[in-house]
Amino acid sequence: MARKVRVPNPGPTQLTPTALLSPDVEAEVARIAAIENVLLSAEQRTNTNIQSIKTDAQALAYIRDVNGRILANASGTWVPVIGAVFGLLTFLFFVILVAASVLGKAVPPESRPLVVTVLAIGIALSISFLGGTAFVSGKLGNLPWGVNPVTFRAGGGIAVFVIVFIIGYFIYVRNADERVTLTGSVVDVNNSAGISSATIIINTDANTYKRQTTDTGDFRISDIPHLFNEQITVSAKAENYQQAVRQTVVIGSYVQHFRFEMHHCYNGVWHENTSASGPNGNQWHFKLAGPTLHVSRIDRTAVGDFHHDGPNVNWIGELSWSDGKKMTGVILEAPDDASCHQIFTNRRWSFVRDTVE
């Protein structure tokens, strides 16, 4: 088996590839030379005169050369295979993370340092077994968990781990966008068509937010901060529709999906409500088609068309009776509340909801 080569503990001095040979590296070169003479045959040795090594770069090249010969001599073909396996496992790990993110199961902020650690270990092991090398030195500052800046130097797999972890931390952990995306659709319950310009209402403990759906009834909201792990209530309302049932959820994913099905506020059957008949008078059928509200009594004795009264939300029109009479200037007020239960008129009757369609 391959013999492990100990990397000396980092010291306060800086090590750069172009610097003159430092005492610590010179000691490591001597140790590697002794290992070379023990583990390698005469034909396998580098035959390097270590007295000719004058710079850190030459020392690193020599150490890398000896380590590669020792691994090749001891392992045959299984070391590259292990390196490839570690690389494949690391790749599969991140494929799973990407797939989960697409499905709305993104990694929460508190777990991102663990993801970076797994990535750094996987890449470091892969490069180490495949025979690659790396060298890093300098000062680490602004590390997570309150670690003070430290001076370090490292080579081989340790250097790869440090490099990958630092890059991953600053890109994926510290600078990551932690905002939640709320997506979904608002549709007509009868035909599943999207309701355009519906208002999405998001209630949190601190604020209430309102956003609009697109022309297709879809919405995607990503500008509300601090929603992760919070309980919110989301509802939808739209002109001419009953307000949707509120949905209360605790946000546990970075993509949260909603679907609101709304009943039309006018379409359906209504009863006349008079002082004499109460809410069980004659039945009327209401149907909204574009800007026109068609009404007709179910016994076919009266029909009428209504349109919006200018900027007001009321409807104005006339009723035509089967005996030829007409009733002009009839006003249908907007429904009394979000439940669309009752419509008042400027006549002696109102309409009370019977069924919806």
The enclosing domain of 235 has a CATH number of: 2.60.40.1120
Does residue 164 sit in the same domain as residue 95? yes
pLDDT in tens, 103-162: 766 666 667 777 777 777 776 666 655 444 444 445 555 544 444 444 444 445 566 666
The mean-pLDDT minimum among 108-112, 259-263, 298-302 falls in 108-112
Length of the chain: 357
- CA angle, corner 289, sides to 286 and 293, nearest 5? 45
What letter would DSSP give residue 89? H
222 located within any domain: yes
Does residue 277 sit in the same domain as residue 326? yes
Average pLDDT over residues 196-223: 92
Q: What pLDDT is attached to residue 99?
A: 80
Q: What pLDDT is attached to residue 149?
A: 47
> Which segment, 41-45, 199-203, 286-290, is predicted with the most confidence on average?
199-203
Q: What pLDDT is attached to residue 233?
A: 95
CA distance linking residue 213 with residue 196, whole number of Å: 6
Does residue 131 sit in the same domain as residue 200? no
8 located within any domain: no
CA distance linking residue 341 with residue 308, whole number of Å: 19
Does residue 144 sit in the same domain as residue 71? yes
The residues with which 184 forms a beta bridge, in sequence order, are: 219, 258
Q: Which residue has the tokens 């991953």?
A: 168
Q: Are 243 and 235 in contact (CB under 8 A)?
A: yes
Q: What pLDDT is attached to residue 160?
A: 65
Residue scoring higher pLDDT (294 or 176): 294
Number of domains in the chain: 3
Domain boundary, last residue among 262, 279, 303: 262
Tokens, residue 192: 């599943």
> What range does the domain containing 187 cover?
181-262
Q: What is the mean pLDDT of the chain?
A: 77
b/e burial code for range 146-180 (CB count within 10 A of at least 16 → b): eeeeeebbbbbbbbbbbbbbbebbeeebeeeeeeb
Q: Are 71 and 157 in contact (CB under 8 A)?
A: no
CA distance linking residue 335 with residue 265, whole number of Å: 8
Q: Which residue has the tokens 């019977």?
A: 354
DSSP string, 242-268: PPPPPEEEE--SSEEEEEEEE-BSSSE
Q: Are 287 and 270 in contact (CB under 8 A)?
A: no
Average pLDDT over residues 56-78: 75
Does residue 230 sit in the same domain as residue 348? no
Does residue 121 sit in the same domain as residue 161? yes
Q: Give percent of the chain above pLDDT 70.
A: 70
Q: What pLDDT is attached to residue 264?
A: 81
Helix (H) or strand (E) holding 211: strand 208-212
Q: What pLDDT is attached to residue 151?
A: 44
CA distance linking residue 219 with residue 186, whole number of Å: 8
Does residue 100 sit in the same domain as residue 190? no
Does residue 91 sit in the same domain as residue 229? no
Does residue 67 sit in the same domain as residue 163? yes
Q: What pLDDT is attached to residue 179?
A: 72
Taking CA atoms, 146 is separated from 107, 141, 151, in Å, by 22, 10, 16
| Structural Rg of the chain based on CA atoms | 37
CA distance linking residue 308 with residue 334, whole number of Å: 10
What letter would DSSP give residue 313? S
> Which segment, 17-21, 56-60, 74-78, is predicted with the most confidence on average?
56-60
* 38: CB partners within 8 A, 6+ apart: none
338 located within any domain: yes
The enclosing domain of 322 has a CATH number of: 2.40.128
Largest Cα–Cα separation, the chain: 121
Domain boundary, last residue among 217, 241, 262: 262
Residue scoring higher pLDDT (356 or 320): 320
Q: Left (φ > 0), alpha (ψ -120 to 50) or beta: where does 223 sit? A: alpha
2 located within any domain: no
The residues with which 139 forms a beta bridge, in sequence order, are: 151
16 located within any domain: no
Q: Are 237 and 201 in contact (CB under 8 A)?
A: yes
Tokens, residue 230: 């919070």
87 located within any domain: yes
Does residue 295 sit in the same domain as residue 252? no
Q: What pLDDT is attached to residue 110?
A: 63
Taking CA atoms, 94 is separated from 126, 166, 259, 327, 338, in Å, by 15, 18, 30, 71, 47
Domain boundary, last residue among 262, 294, 313: 262
**pLDDT at residue 71 above 90?**
no
pLDDT in tens, 329-347: 999 987 766 677 888 899 8
Q: Which residue has the tokens 């993370």?
A: 97
Q: Which residue has the tokens 């076919």?
A: 300
Does residue 83 sit in the same domain as residue 152? yes
Does residue 276 sit in the same domain as residue 258? no
137 located within any domain: yes
Which residue stretches of the chain are H helix? 23-39, 56-75, 78-102, 112-130, 156-168
**pLDDT at residue 36 above 90?**
no
3 located within any domain: no
